[in-house]
Structure 1
């Protein structure tokens, strides 16, 4: 069983708390992307990032100075988004970290796919970004089936806690051998289940923590998740979609 999650836009450097284990699997592909980005002007990069001048300036300077092999932070400690805050990665014990290293995979537009203790540097590059180049435009095309193939070689059961922007890098290449279970964290609005972005991110982070704390190996046991007032709703779920509603 493997769990997939999205990265976060906000990142930090932390070379003191824990050592990284290894370089990312697709570091050579990341180097190709970095060399491409270094050739782009500030204006073009800002249009790709769709951000403020302050954020664009920070990330433009990062690109110019970026070294993929030095001052690396374990990926799970580097990302700072809501999902990672609720995961509480800074307070896992050894067994929980080992569980995550074995089961958790972080999808990334820049690195492709990351294990929790792969060494990374801060970057800004969303999977849906248009790179505006003739030969290199879509990151979906750049990565192709490579990320899915890597994941499927490790497991035939995937727990999807990623956003659609990232999960479609995997779901697009599904075969009949692989079970792909998407967890939906929502509320009933009328007769529809509605997911709200921030609340869903919080719940995805809590689900990762729950699975690590409980050392879950049987996918059926994730139905016991009850944190943040969510409960599994059997009648709204099916083999490939597990629906959790707020009480």
Structure 2
């Protein structure tokens, strides 16, 4: 009987030698075939889906810091608000007693039914400023309650809307600022407006914002709060907003407004 050497038979089927010679004819032939091959056309890296960070971050800011943030709509051009806010002024003005009372009344009306009616009844007016036909009102109450409203004081067109800050806000230091609303709001037929509203320390007496469209805008600083707004969309609540602050001793500083701090 003839014994079968399986390993010897397998070696005869293997075309590769046990010793590799990089300069041998086999290696050179393989290299020439590789170099002669055309590269793949239109090779593109795999595309990754980018998430809408703007909306996610803004939502997190509201949930964690209990602050109000306004963001632009997702698509289409942002209305400038020029028609609705044509009477707007860079310098705020006061309101008559009747205008102030009407603005506060309209503010309370727009905030009813938001789940904080008891605190709203006890709230007092911390700030009220006017820019053209529009008044901005800030109400404060127990447990650091704060609410903000935009109200049209033109008797032919009374309307407005408001937001309520989260409860339990810690007081700010003498030179600190804490924005509770920062960004773009509005829409519809009236276009958009951009606002910055929040608390100011006791040493803060003046604030200005340099608008790329409207120039120097003076904020109202009153009773521990600050506020300013401009027509159109200029900044959101996700990035710091530079403002110039004047302190009680006359010194000034550039400060970056951020939501909640």
What TM-score bracket applies, with the shorter chain setting the length? under 0.3
User: With structure 2 as the length reference, what TM-score do the two structures score?
Assistant: 0.20
- Bigger Rg, which one: 2
**Higher share of residues assigned helix:** 1
User: With structure 1 as the length reference, what TM-score do the two structures score?
Assistant: 0.20
**Higher share of residues assigned strand:** 2
Q: Which one has more relative contact order, counting CA pairs under 8 Å at least 6 apart?
A: 1
